[in-house]
Amino acid sequence: MVIYDLQCSNQHQFEGWFKNADDLVSQQASGLLTCPFCNSSEVSKKLTAAKVGRKSNSVSSPAPVEPNSQAAQAMPSDGAKAYAQLQKMLSDVHQHIDRNFVDVGNKFADEALKIHNGEKDPENIRGTASKAELKELAEEGVSALPLPPKPVNKDKLN
C-alpha cells in the first residue's frame, strides 16, 4: 500500500491510497481517480517542489545581509563566495570614489545643479541626496548614480 498526496486541478489536496505506483498511474489514466471535493478527474501527485522552492527563496532573498548575521551563515558556499566577490567589488568602487570624487555631503543636489548650470567648475562629486532631490536632478538632466552602501567587512579590518 502506498499513500500519495494528491491535488486536483482546483488545488484541492487529499490523500490517495494505492496498491503501488502503477495503480496510481492506471487509475489516473482510466479516470477512476477523482477529487473527493469537486469530482474533478484531473488529479495529480502533489509537487513537493513547492517546499524546496520556498527554502531556496529564503536563502537567495535580496534582504540586506550582514557578514555575521545568521542569513549569511545559512548561505550555500556558492552564495557566500558570490557575496564576498560582490563585497570586494563594492569596496573597490567606494575606494575609487573616495579618491576621485569630492565629498559634498548633503549638498549633493545643490552642487550637482551648480555644475550642471555652469555656476561651478565641473568636477566629480559625491554626497547624499533624498529621493525627491534625485528626481529633481533627473528632470534637470543631471546624471547622478545611486551608490550601494559601503560594505562592512569586520573580518578584514586591520
| Interface ranges with Zn ion (CB under 5 A) | 8, 10, 12, 35, 37-38, 40
Q: Shortest distance, CB of residue 39 to Zn ion, whole angstroms?
A: 7
Which CB, 9 or 68, lies closer to Zn ion? 9
The three-class DSSP label of residue 97 is: helix
Distance CA 98, CA 84 (A): 21
Q: Shortest distance, CB of residue 90 to Zn ion, whole angstroms?
A: 50
Distance CA 145, CA 112 (A): 12
> Would the CA dihedral through 114, 117, 119, 124 be positive or negative?
positive
Which CB, 41 or 91, lies closer to Zn ion? 41
Q: Which residue has the cell 550637482?
A: 112
Q: Shortest distance, CB of residue 4 to Zn ion, whole angstroms?
A: 15
Distance CA 99, CA 35 (A): 68
Which CB, 28 or 40, lies closer to Zn ion? 40
Q: Which residue has the cell 489536496?
A: 13
First to last CA, the chain: 64
Q: Shortest distance, CB of residue 54 to Zn ion, whole angstroms?
A: 23
Which CB, 40 or 87, lies closer to Zn ion? 40
Which CB, 26 or 40, lies closer to Zn ion? 40
Largest CA distance in the chain: 85
Q: Shortest distance, CB of residue 49 to Zn ion, whole angstroms?
A: 20
